[in-house]
Structure 1
Amino acid sequence: MLCNWQSATLSRYTQALHTPLQFGPLQITHRHGLYLELHFTDGRVGRGEIAPLPGFSDETLEQAEQQIRDYLQGHAQRKLYPSVAFGMDCAMAGFPPNSPIVSGYPLLNGDFAHCQQILSLHNTKLAKLKVARQSPKQDVALINQLLEHDPELRLRLDANRGWIWNQAIYVLENIDLSRIDYIEEPLMNSQQCALLAQRTGAGIGLDETLQDSSYRYHYFEGLRCLVIKPSLLGPWRVCANLVEQAHADQVSCVLSSAYESEFGLQWINTMAKQYTPDQAPGLDTLKAFSEQAANIEELETFQHKL
């Protein structure tokens, strides 16, 4: 795989967030990751981003950094961590086209006023709403308020496995499901998603489920979408295979970010144009950063013995 690169440079980046991100018990105030730059014997240059997401990635940034160092020094690896495999595939592909990063729909969270403020900035009738961060009763009230305020608005809900069965049933039975494209990962016990779809008629989206190393794609009635985060799944071929299998069952796929820096988002945007050209990617995460660009520290340059 690496036979035609001549040298590699590894850098570490840090980028501050507007407000801390809460991932379960973890709270992060800065995003940290690595940039890998490869120089090839034919003069090409490739660059990738390696950025495990705390609370979601199995590997830590320290583990990813050690693995990519070992790999670049020629030490064989049984299997690359997903973040390392994604970054390496990107670097091997070259540089992504320098095109604007435009998310197909905004990401909503907070109260009604805050959601409306975000919607007012986007000329869209589709939005993704984070739920299961307050009581089910409050979620129902917010969803209905948003739908009543704009009769043309459609929502994609994302619960991040935040509900138990009875909570999910309560919410889904008290909102207009005809205007909900799907609900991502509604249940703490994701194995009950097919039953939930059967019971309520709600469309289901899978996200965290895909990141389980034991996951193998299988269709069930009500499965509407796979939300694919390339940097959490690893090699490009894994993403491509999932898209191919899902599309065969008329299940849509959305390539989505995991709070990468702008450079990482450029790659996901490029992948979306290649694998899911008819489905806008979910890239509305740059607004989470208080700094426009990441602060970069060069770590080491590696020479490849050709």
Structure 2
Amino acid sequence: MKYQLAITNYNYPFRQPLKTSHGEWKIREGIIISLKDAEGNISYGEIAPLPNFGSETLKQAQKFCSQYSQGITETEINQIPEQFPACQFAFESALAGFSAAKINEDHLQLSCLLPPGKDALKQWQIGWEKGHQTFKWKIGVFSLQEELSWFEQLLNLLPDSTQIRLDANAGLTLAEAKQWLTLADACGKVEFLEQPLPPQQFPMMLELATTFSTPLALDESVGTLRQLETCYENGWRGIFVVKCAIAGSPRYLQQLCEQYFLDLVFSSAMETSIGRQAALQLAMKLSSRRALGFGVDHWF
């Protein structure tokens, strides 16, 4: 069967720029695709690339889609090259969407993304009032001493039942990472420290993972599933943060989960509700035991 393909570009501004060690992110751009079958049924998918994490660019995704103006088959969808991971996710998700049931998010355990810096000291309450028990805080954005001070204040504010994830976005030095991990070990409220060092410093992260009790998670190092598999083969047995929208083929991810015992955290790539639904369906299918990193509604 050949599916009729339609694409629509989008760009949505954040309510406030999302600041990370990579800089400011002001607008989310992507593509909504729709597949129409012979009976007129329509299913949607989302291409939400993040080139900094190893996906194709928006222009490359647009060029890829243009090849199928006359329609695309299931075989062609399953043969999308891995250099187009965001396209793989979008097309496979749209195909699965013809039979997938909508996920009700009301009872899902989500991690709430806090703003970086001292703004988190006030805005954590927004997430708490929505029922979030897990919070994610970006570090490596301001000076180390400022962030350490704010973090200690945040620890005093957060209820005892909560835990926090620290996300450095590969923005720390080895010495800074050790300082954060020393404090994290002492306070006992940090679920994990995410990507403290750049991907090219993978051996140092392996060493850190065996030196401190606070778990480490890979993010930028495993933007795509091929990168994830490589890190596993090179000895990583810690946490993997998976941004489904840019990781690649959902079928391939399921194969990896069947082949290896992976400790996964499913996380948002700041996609729209279309990509979010597809990512949550995949997370539920693969039975992640950790809070899902999709507590980001307040950013839009």
TM-score tier, shorter chain, comes to: 0.7 to 0.9
8 A Cα contact 1:161 1:190, kept in partner: no
Change (3 A) 1:208 1:174: same
CA deviations on 1:260-298 (whole Å, 9 max, x unpaired) are: 111111111111111125444211223222xxxxxxxxx
Distance in 2 between residues matched to 1:156 and 1:199, nearest whole Å = 19
Match for residue 151 of structure 2?
143
Match for residue 175 of structure 2?
166
Change (3 A) 1:140 1:244: farther
Q: Displacement of 1:221 after TM fit? A: 8.5
Distance in 2 between residues matched to 1:122 and 1:233, nearest whole Å = 29
The counterpart of 2:90, out of the listed 72, 87, 91, is: 87
Q: Displacement of 1:91 after TM fit? A: 1.4
User: AA paired with 1:187?
Assistant: L
Match for residue 124 of structure 2?
116
8 A Cα contact 1:217 1:242, kept in partner: no
Change (3 A) 1:122 1:74: closer
- The residue matched to 2:110 in structure 1 has which SS? coil
Distance in 2 between residues matched to 1:221 and 1:91, nearest whole Å = 34
Distance in 1 between residues matched to 2:81 and 2:297, nearest whole Å = 30
Identity of aligned residues (%): 27
The counterpart of 1:97, out of the listed 95, 98, 101, is: 101
Is 1:201 matched with 2:201? Answer: no
Tell me the matched-pair count.
283
8 A Cα contact 2:21 2:141, kept in partner: no
Distance in 2 between residues matched to 1:78 and 1:153, nearest whole Å = 41
- The residue matched to 1:283 in structure 2 has which SS? strand
Change (3 A) 1:158 1:241: farther
Is 1:153 matched with 2:156? Answer: no
8 A Cα contact 1:229 1:257, kept in partner: yes
CA deviations on 1:214-248 (whole Å, 9 max, x unpaired) are: 552427898442111112111112322343345x2
Match for residue 255 of structure 2?
241
Match for residue 136 of structure 2?
128
Question: 1:5-154 alignment to 2 at 5 Å?
Answer: 5-22=2-19, 27-73=24-70, 79-80=81-82, 81-95=84-98, 96-101=100-105, 104-109=110-115, 110-111=117-118, 112-149=120-157, 150-154=159-163
Distance in 1 between residues matched to 2:235 and 2:85, nearest whole Å = 29
Match for residue 271 of structure 2?
260
TM score, norm. by length of structure 2 = 0.82
Gaps of 5+ in 1: 290-306
Gaps of 5+ in 2: none
Which stretch shifts more, 107-116 or 84-93? 107-116
Match for residue 295 of structure 1?
none
Q: Displacement of 1:37 after TM fit? A: 1.0
8 A Cα contact 1:24 1:55, kept in partner: no
Distance in 2 between residues matched to 1:263 and 1:13, nearest whole Å = 12
- The residue matched to 1:202 in structure 2 has which SS? coil
Distance in 1 between residues matched to 2:295 and 2:161, nearest whole Å = 21
Distance in 2 between residues matched to 1:58 and 1:126, nearest whole Å = 28
Which stretch shifts more, 135-144 or 223-232? 135-144
8 A Cα contact 2:32 2:47, kept in partner: yes
User: AA paired with 1:105?
Assistant: S
Change (3 A) 1:281 1:243: farther
User: AA paired with 1:116?
Assistant: W
